[in-house]
């Protein structure tokens, strides 16, 4: 008798329930999707594409977003506390009321002083306090 195998739901199905903590979503293309309020905390999203996506009030706390593309994305009230954002592209992204804390800005692409002026909380990596 052959062993019974079960197929686990793929990590990207977490989008349906807005709970994607610890998910492995490397390289996924979320471009143009409405993903507001999704919790991506501690998820691996390296190389993911969020081009023109609506991520209003999403959470990326301690997520790996290495090389992610947020070009033109709505990041209003998003929380990036302690996220890994090396090489992430924020060209023309809306950062109104966004929390960026414990992040090294030196490796970000396309982020401007005007965008940083819109964030709610900003503290570079090495700051003692992050909300």
pLDDT beyond 60 at 3: no
Can you name the residues that pair with 79 across neighbouring β-strands? 59, 99
- In the predicted model, what is the mean pLDDT of the chain? 85
Question: With 70 as the cut, is the pLDDT of residue 22 above it?
Answer: yes
In b/e form, how buried is each residue of 104-123, taking b as 16+ CB within 10 angstroms?
Answer: eeeebeebeeebeebbbebb
pLDDT of residue 131: 53
HSE toward the beta carbon, residue 40, CA cutoff 13 A: 33
| pLDDT tens-digit readout, 57-95 | 999 999 999 999 999 999 999 999 989 999 999 999 999
32 pLDDT tier (thresholds 50, 70, 90): very high
Share of the chain above pLDDT 90, in %: 63
User: What is the Cα–Cα distance from 55 to 87, expressed in whole angstroms?
Assistant: 19
Contact 32, 55 (CB under 8 A): no
Q: Does residue 2 have a pLDDT over 50?
A: no
């Amino acid at each position: 008798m052959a062993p019974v195998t079960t197929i686990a739901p793929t990590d990207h199905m977490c989008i349906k329930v807005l709970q994607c903590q610890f998910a492995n979503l490397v390289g996924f293309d979320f471009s143009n999707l409405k993903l507001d309020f999704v919790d991506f905390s501690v998820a691996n999203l390296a190389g993911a594409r969020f081009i023109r996506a609506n991520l209003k009030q999403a959470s990326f706390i301690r997520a790996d977003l290495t090389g992610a593309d947020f070009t033109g994305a709505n990041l209003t009230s998003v929380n990036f506390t302690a996220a890994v954002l090396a090489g992430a592209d924020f060209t023309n992204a809306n950062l109104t009321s966004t929390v960026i804390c414990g992040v090294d800005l030196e490796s970000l692409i396309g982020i401007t002083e005007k965008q940083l002026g819109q964030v709610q909380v900003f503290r570079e990596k090495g700051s003692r306090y992050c909300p």
